[in-house]
Homo-oligomer: A and B are copies of this chain.
Amino acid sequence: MGATMTETSEAPQPQAGPQPEGDARRVLKVALLGGGTVGSQVARILLDDAEALAARAGARLELVGIAVRNVDAPRDVELPHGLYTTDAEALVGSADLVIELMGGLEPARTHILAALRRGASVVTGNKALLAQDGATLFDEADAHGAELNFEAAVAGAIPIIRPIRESLSGDRITRVLGIVNGTTNFILDAMDTTGAQFADVLAEAQRLGYAEADPTADVEGLDAAAKAAILASLAFHTRVSLDDVRCEGITNVSAADIAAAQDAGLAIKLLAIAELVPLEPADGAEAAHDGAAGAPREGVSVRVHPTLLPRTHPLAAVRGAYNAVFIEAENAGSLMFYGAGAGGAPTASAIMGDVVTTARRLLAGSPGRTGTATRTLPLVGPEAVTTSYSIGLEVADEPGVLARVAAVFAEHGVSIETMRQRIDGAEPASEGAGARPQGRRAELRFVTHRASEAALAATVADIKNLDVVESVTSVLRAEGV
């Protein structure tokens, strides 16, 4: 271990072997990069709970400084002014353990790499950096025997990184479904509750502080996509970066989509989905296991999109800005982890869990390994993934329309599970009934069995070309229906 540890003079202790917990004579120097909402809370906890943390970690965690851009900027939490510095480089050079909460790619990346090269351990919540360039950081940590922990990068306070890396390390995870962005869950939940349109709810969310002035990263699904890449890498022991994630946001989800979902006993959630996909269709070949010789027989699909879920699904009950991650594993079955996905104090809780755990291992003399990639699985595109779809159409209210639309589905091999018809809000008329008022429109909602994206796209294109179809009002994927 390359980290230096300071000991106070009164009672030197041997460095090797486990130390009694509660021995606070040893000191670990902790540097904090970033003094924003989360950083302030982390500093507050390090200072206020110093005795309890020392008892649990086995050493005093001494906050040696907080690197910020402007030492005189106003802060949420009042801390000793002398802790602030603009010299992040020098701060990193003096620490056993570096907490990076600057966010963004640079200079966070440079400081993390500098710390790891010194053998200092790093705790970070930087999802963007991890999703973009995690492999470089993991390799550097392992090369220098340093720890890199990042529980706060996904789903705030919810313990999810450690359970996947450790608790489920003896199982085979097959699928991860996550509500990992609080802003979009807040918006979709409010649309579901009030019946309002996306734009109105977004404006309200901005007013309440649940959405940023520029909400792009949230509502377009980019924030969720970074988390999906991290979850997929850990769950499947392979490497997935942000560029591998197909991403669709919630800006096109309409009040009508939500109402139709409610009618059908469904809820719409923005899900980060990562799943193992067999590469060879069932032809008697054995399922691939990692570590097996030869070409991999399975690939990974990682995507973010609005998704219909049955209201009985545990994820459908996740309200407001809460997050939750649902995991399916071969032996464990279905698991769910639920909690606050953002906010200063909850995120600080995740950071501090990593800090105490990392400190314990530093004191024991051996870091945990960071890299969990034991294999390279191919990323599979939409062509290899099948999903159920919900399709909304506005059609002329004429006899024979349903038959013509159904024929297009059949032509592309897309099987229909359910159909609902609504005529200008009235009760549905039976297909082929007598004379109807000229120019009336009907709304049709289909839910399909699992179909490939290619087959679905071809179906939708041909349906659009039917003269009786006014418009395709929505196309949504569904899980668990």
A interface list, Cβ under 8 A from B: 17-18, 21-22, 24, 41, 45, 49, 51-58, 142, 145, 151, 157-159, 162-163, 166-172, 237, 289-292, 314, 317, 329-340, 343, 345-346, 348-357, 360-361, 364-369, 371-372, 374-375
Contact = CB atoms under 8 A, between A and B. Distances in A.
22 contacts: A18-B369, A21-B369, A22-B374, A53-B170, A55-B291, A56-B169, A157-B333, A159-B163, A159-B167, A162-B162, A162-B167, A169-B356, A169-B357, A170-B355, A170-B356, A329-B349, A331-B348, A331-B349, A333-B340, A335-B338, A360-B368, A361-B368
- Count of this chain's copies in the oligomeric assembly: 2
Indicate the member of A21, A167, A338, A340 with the most B CB atoms within 10 Å: A167
Contact of A18 (B45, B51, B367): B367
A338 B339 CA distance: 12
Contacts of A371: 21
Indicate the member of A24, A157, A159, A168 with the most B CB atoms within 10 Å: A159
A332 B360 contact: no
Contacts of A367: 18, 364
Contact of A334 (B49, B237, B331, B339): B339
B350 A332 contact: yes
B335 A339 contact: yes
Indicate the member of A51, A172, A291 with the most B CB atoms within 10 Å: A291
Contacts of A166: 159, 162, 353, 356-357
Given A166-B357, A349-B171, A290 B55 contact: yes
Contacts of A170: 45, 53, 56, 349, 351-356
A430 to B, nearest CB: 36
Given A55-B290, A163-B163, A317-B317, A349 B332 contact: yes
Nearest to A24: B291
B331 A366 contact: no
B159 A168 contact: yes
Contacts of A158: 335
Contacts of A157: 329, 331-333, 335
3 nearest CB pairs, A to B: A170-B352, A51-B291, A159-B167
A169 B56 CA distance: 7
A280 B372 CA distance: 48
A353 B55 contact: no
Contact of A332 (B54, B289, B339, B374): B339
A346 B334 CA distance: 9
Given A17-B145, A162-B163, A333-B343, 7 more contacts: A52-B291, A55-B290, A157-B332, A159-B166, A170-B356, A171-B353, A334-B339
Contacts of A332: 157, 339-340, 345-346, 349-350
A276 to B, nearest CB: 13
A447 to B, nearest CB: 24
A374 B331 contact: no
A448 to B, nearest CB: 28
